[in-house]
């Protein structure tokens, strides 16, 4: 009972698929909107002298009786200074019945997958079913995972990618991994004007997608903006869009929704739903072919908890991982 | 670089002494009052259906360049339901320069020791040097550790213990461990009236020590009260005492200081100092033989961080513990 399962990145990777992540995240969103998830605000400790920060994201799924915490670093100089990734994340799951830490696992891949799953769930709820053109704003890891995930659920034909760097590399690598999709590097405008689904996955602090480019029927997944001051969308888009948040409270504070909200362009009444409300059938998704829809996803602790819990259970079943003893057995 | 050192309770116990803890906690208090410690408020997740909670205590010592978090359960039914201790705690230390988790260690003993060290430091700063009579209100583990720690620094002759249960067991066990001290079970009043140092270490929600019992020259370590609603001291004592906090902000919210403060009996002006200010020589400690002094200690993250860091460094030096890989080496 006092053993803790340790799962490293390779082991997590061997156990987790994007389809399973989509199901785990869906269940998490619904649990959140059933009111059986406690999620206090994220705690950030800023290490300015190292150009970094540590973020602690805690939650308690009363549905699963699991408490979880993700301890995630954001250190932008890591690659060049330490040959380490900028985003190291470790997740710990506790049995909510007694406080025993049941699993410590690498959170890097889980963060990537659960964020990609968020975008896919947003598109499944809000995008046109016949969407086949993607505008990808961003060229990083998450810009890759978003397309990978979406391609399992939509018949994607074209991905037009825009980024301030790495466009060619993105096209080359993604083209070889997804031969059925045509990838091309374009301007942001060309990508957005030709898309049914627009995905923003950058660390931008300024709008990258402008209102006049967005045609009727477009769905936008606003993924990158998860902090005060970050921004990817022209706030004007919100004034003619159906707005869906993962969490109203979080999106108004640190999602792209913060900008039109703080400027007074929209109020609570303009936020159509939280995504879990749509999944639960309490609110509608897309209602016609001409709506512009936005899913603003800041990332919720319950996504990490549910995805980690899936990995933990599969690891136990498949006898993967290593047991460690944080406490002594005879404590 | 990507290895994390795992230290279980036995290993922590083999490395840590109370004297080293006192030094580590002193340094932590001073760092806090030098302004080089970030300590956001504690995050608690309540598991009401299991009569328990998980508390997350985070901090960043910019002096040591270490970020730490203690994940501590408080599950009162654990002993009878699971044969587990009610308070399981795990601590994780991160290198603040890159976010790498350098150590995961059992936090149970560290919590006990760093809390005992707090009391000893309070007494060293504020009690009469010739104190030899202790009133111990409480009979649990912390009531044992407080005396163990204090006995290294004071010439203690008598410990009079009061508790709603376990008095005889306390006296019997402590007497055999400390043959030079005389232990006796008494009323709270008799214990307090005869003491130069009063220590409260209970989970009480009502005053246990009354104003009229406290004679001039008494020092009180208020240790047990660390949550809103908890209480051990008659608020009237504060009105004639020199009040010292570990953290003003925390003590006004969840220390015993909360009660006279919320009732309006005292204001910020009546709080003499934070303990680190006394250690730094910025404020005075005891000024004469007749003062009544109170040290209200809620427990600060920097105590956990500094004590854990001492254990980690000694473990590295002595080659104790087990290396685990949360991340893959080639991440």
Which residue of chain B has the CA closest to A103? B326
Please identify which residue in the block is written with the tokens 């606003």.
A222
Is there a contact between A45 and B56 if contact means CB atoms under 8 Å apart?
no
| A26 among known catalytic residues | no
What pLDDT, on the 0 to 100 scale, is given for residue B279?
A: 98
Interval A161-190: pLDDT, tens: 999 999 999 999 999 999 999 999 999 999
- Please report which helix (H) or strand (E) contains residue A90, including its range: strand A89-95
Is the Cβ pair A54, B88 closer than 8 Å?
A: no
CATH architecture of B128-299: 3-Layer(aba) Sandwich (3.40)
Q: Which two tokens stand for residue B223?
A: 């240790």
Q: What proportions of chain B, in percent to the nearest 5, are helix, strand and coil?
A: 35, 25, 35
The per-residue pLDDT for range B34-52, each reduced to its tens digit, is: 999 999 999 999 999 999 9
- High-pLDDT (> 70) share of chain B, %: 98
Band (A3; pLDDT cuts 50, 70, 90): confident
pLDDT at res. B2: 73
Given a cut of 60, whether residue B330 has pLDDT beyond it is no
Quick one: CA dihedral A248, A254, A259, A261, positive or negative?
positive
The residue of chain B nearest to residue A59, with distances taken between CA atoms, is B45
- Taken as a whole, chain A contains a residue count of 331
| pLDDT for position B173 | 97
What share of residues in chain A are helix, strand, coil (percent, to 5)?
35, 25, 35
A73: chain B residues, CB-CB within 8 Å: 94, 98-100
Average pLDDT for residues A15-30, to the nearest whole number?
98
Residues of A in contact with B72 (CB under 8 A): 99
- Chain B partners within 8 Å of A322 (Cβ): 324
**pLDDT tens column, A206-260:** 999 999 999 999 999 999 999 999 999 999 999 999 999 999 999 999 999 999 9
pLDDT of residue B328: 63
**Chain A residues touching residue B45 (CB < 8 angstroms):** 38, 40, 58-60, 67
Query: Best interface-test mutation with B: which of A45, A50, A325 has the largest number of B CBs within 10 A?
Result: A45
Mean pLDDT, to the nearest integer, of B139-160?
Answer: 97
Cβ atoms of B117 and B18 within 8 Å: the answer is yes
Place of tokens 């549905």: A63
Q: Is A46 exposed, middle or buried (0-12, 13-18, 19+ CB in 10 A)?
A: middle
- Kindly report the nearest CA distance between residue A183 and chain B, in angstroms: 27
In angstroms, the Cα distances linking B223 to B17, B138, B204, B277 are 20, 10, 11, 19
Bridge partner residues of B159 (DSSP): B134, B183
Residues A2, B84: C-beta atoms closer than 8 Å = yes
Indicate if the pLDDT at residue B154 is higher than 50.
yes
At A65 the three-state DSSP class reads coil
Instruction: Report the sign of the C-alpha dihedral through residues B2, A52, B45, B256, in that order.
Output: positive
Mean pLDDT of chain A: 96
- Copy the structure tokens of residue B204: 């009480």
- Cβ distance B43 to A56 less than 8 Å, yes or no, reads yes
Q: Is the distance from CB of A259 to CB of A204 less than 8 angstroms?
A: no
Indicate which of B77, B92, B326 best probes the interface with A, i.e. most A CBs within 10 Å of its own CB. B326
| Closest C-alpha among A107, A109, A97, A106 to residue A67 | A97
pLDDT at position A331, please? 42
Q: For the residues B253-271, what does the mean pLDDT come to?
A: 96
- The verdict on a CB contact (< 8 Å) between A92 and B97 is no
Task: Tell if the CB–CB gap between A9 and B327 is shorter than 8 Å.
Answer: yes
Closest partner residue to A58 among B6, B56, B60, by Cβ? B56
Among candidates B154, B197, B9, which has minimal Cα distance to B90? B9
Q: What is the mean pLDDT of residues A26-45?
A: 97
* Burial (CB count within 10 angstroms: exposed 0-12, middle 13-18, buried 19+), residue A187: exposed
The helix-helix angle for A301-318 and A108-126 (nearest 10°) equals 120
CB interface of B with A, residues 60-119, below 8 Å? 60, 62, 67, 69, 71-75, 78, 81-82, 84-85, 88, 90, 92, 94, 96-101, 104-106, 108
pLDDT at B331 exceeding the cut of 80: no
Q: What are B171-208's pLDDT values in tens digits?
A: 999 999 999 999 999 999 999 999 999 999 999 999 99
Q: Return the DSSP state at A154.
A: S
What's the confidence (pLDDT) of residue B3?
Answer: 86
Tokens 């009401």 found at: B48
Residue A330 has pLDDT above 80, yes or no: no
Tokens for B71, please give them.
Answer: 């994940």
A92 contacts on B by Cβ (under 8 Å)? 71, 90, 92
The active-site residue out of A26, A49, A57, A70 is: A70
Round the CA-based radius of gyration of chain B to a whole number and report it. Answer: 20
Closest residue in chain B to residue A66, using alpha carbons only: B47
pLDDT in tens, A64-89: 999 999 999 999 899 999 988 888 99
**Is the CB of residue A59 less than 8 Å away from at least one CB of chain B?**
yes
Quick check: B146 and B201 in contact, CB under 8 A?
yes
**pLDDT at residue B304, as a whole number:** 98
Q: Strands A4-7, A322-324: parallel, antiparallel or unpaired by DSSP?
A: antiparallel
Largest separation between any pair of C-alpha atoms in chain B = 67
Q: Which of A308, A326, A329 to mutate to test the interface with B (most CBs of B within 10 A)?
A: A326
pLDDT value of position A329 = 47
User: Which tokens belong to B143?
Assistant: 């009531």
Above 90 in pLDDT, residue A145? yes
B241 near B217, Cβ under 8 Å? no
**Could B49 and A40 be called an inter-chain contact, meaning their C-beta atoms sit closer than 8 Å?**
no
Catalytic residue among B70, B230, B242, B252: B70
In chain B, domain spans: 4-110+302-324, 128-299
- B43 - beta bridge partners? B56
The sign of the torsion formed by the CA atoms of A247, A253, A255, A260 equals positive
Residue B204, phi-psi category: left (phi > 0), alpha (psi -120 to 50), beta (remainder): beta
CATH number assigned to the domain covering B4-110+302-324: 3.30.1780.10
Give dist(CA A238, CA B223) in Å, integer.
52
| CA-closest candidate to residue A188, choices A211, A154, A169 | A211
Q: Which residue of B has its CA nearest to A104?
A: B326
| Angle at alpha carbon of residue A107, lines to A104 and A110, rounded to 5° | 120
pTM for this prediction: 0.94
Confidence category of residue B325, pLDDT binned at 50, 70, 90: confident
| B229 contact partners, CB below 8 Å, separation of at least 6 | B205
- Judged by CB atoms closer than 8 Å, whether chains meet at B328 and A49 is answered as no
* Residue B273, token pair as written in the block: 């100092």
Using pLDDT thresholds of 50, 70 and 90, give the confidence band for residue A114.
Answer: very high
CA B125 to chain centre: 15
Half-sphere exposure of B85 (CA within 13 A, CB side): 18
Q: Give the C-alpha separation, A253 to A250, whole Å.
A: 5
pLDDT band at residue A326 using 50, 70 and 90 as cut-offs: confident
Measured between beta carbons, which residues in chain B are less than 8 angstroms from residue A49? Answer: 62
Whether residue B329 is predicted with pLDDT greater than 70 in this model: the reply is: no
Q: List the structure tokens of A134.
A: 């993607």
- Shortest distance between the Cα of B130 and any Cα of chain A, in A, equals 38
Q: Give the one of A40, A71, A96 whose C-beta lies nearest to B47's C-beta.
A: A96
Distance CA(A183)–CA(A157), nearest Å, equals 9
Kindly report the backbone phi and psi dihedral angles of residue A319, in degrees, each rounded to the nearest multiple of 5, phi listed first: 60, 45
Nearest to A43 among B58, B90, B94 (CB): B58
Q: Do A1 and B82 touch (CB under 8 A)?
A: yes
Q: Please report the ipTM that was assigned to this predicted complex.
A: 0.92
* Pick from A194, A204, A149: nearest CA to A26: A149
| Chain B residues with CB-CB distance to A109 below 8 A | none
Query: Which residues of chain A make contact with B322, given a CB cutoff of 8 A?
Result: 324
Question: Is a pLDDT exceeding 60 seen at residue A104?
Answer: yes
Supply the pLDDT for residue A327: 77
- Phi, psi of B122, deg, nearest 5: -55, -45
Reported as a pLDDT band with limits 50, 70 and 90, residue A328 is low
Residue B275, burial from CB neighbour count under 10 angstroms (0-12, 13-18, 19+): buried
Are the beta carbons of B327 and A50 separated by less than 8 Å?
no
| CATH architecture under which domain A126-299 falls | 3-Layer(aba) Sandwich (3.40)
Which tokens is B270 given?
């009546």
- According to the model, what pLDDT value does residue A188 have? 98
C-alpha A27/C-alpha A307 separation (Å) is 10
Which residue reads 């009732």 in tokens? B263
């Amino acid at each position: 009972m006092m053993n803790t399962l340790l799962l490293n990145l390779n082991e997590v990777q061997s156990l987790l698929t994007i389809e399973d992540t989509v199901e785990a995240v869906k269940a998490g969103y619904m649990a959140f909107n059933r009111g059986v998830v406690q999620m206090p605000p994220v705690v950030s400790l800023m290490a300015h002298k190292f150009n970094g920060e540590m973020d602690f994201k805690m939650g308690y799924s009363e549905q699963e009786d699991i408490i979880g915490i993700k301890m995630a670093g954001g250190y932008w100089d890591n690659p060049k200074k330490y040959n380490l990734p900028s985003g190291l994340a470790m997740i710990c799951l506790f049995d909510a019945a007694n406080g025993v830490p049941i699993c410590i696992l690498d959170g890097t891949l889980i963060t990537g997958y659960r964020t990609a799953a968020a975008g896919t769930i947003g598109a499944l709820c809000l995008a046109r079913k016949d969407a086949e053109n993607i505008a990808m704003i961003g060229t990083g890891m998450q810009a890759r995972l978003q397309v990978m995930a979406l391609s399992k659920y939509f018949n994607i034909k074209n991905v037009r990618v825009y980024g301030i760097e790495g466009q060619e590399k993105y096209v080359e690598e993604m083209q070889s991994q997804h031969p059925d999709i045509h990838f091309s590097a374009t301007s942001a405008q060309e990508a957005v004007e030709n898309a049914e689904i627009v995905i923003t996955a950058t660390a931008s602090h300024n709008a990258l997608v402008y209102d006049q480019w967005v045609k009727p029927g477009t769905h936008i997944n606003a993924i990158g903006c998860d902090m005060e001051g970050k921004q990817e969308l022209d706030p004007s888009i919100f004034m003619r869009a159906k707005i869906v948040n993962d969490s109203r409270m979080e999106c108004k504070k640190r999602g792209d929704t913060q900008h039109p909200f703080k400027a007074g362009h929209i109020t609570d009444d303009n936020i159509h739903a939280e995504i879990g409300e749509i999944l639960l059938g309490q609110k509608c998704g897309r209602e016609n072919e001409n709506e512009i829809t936005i899913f603003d996803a800041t990332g919720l602790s319950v996504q990490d908890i549910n995805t980690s819990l899936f990995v933990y259970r599969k690891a136990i079943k498949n006898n993967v991982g290593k047991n460690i003893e944080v406490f002594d057995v005879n404590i």
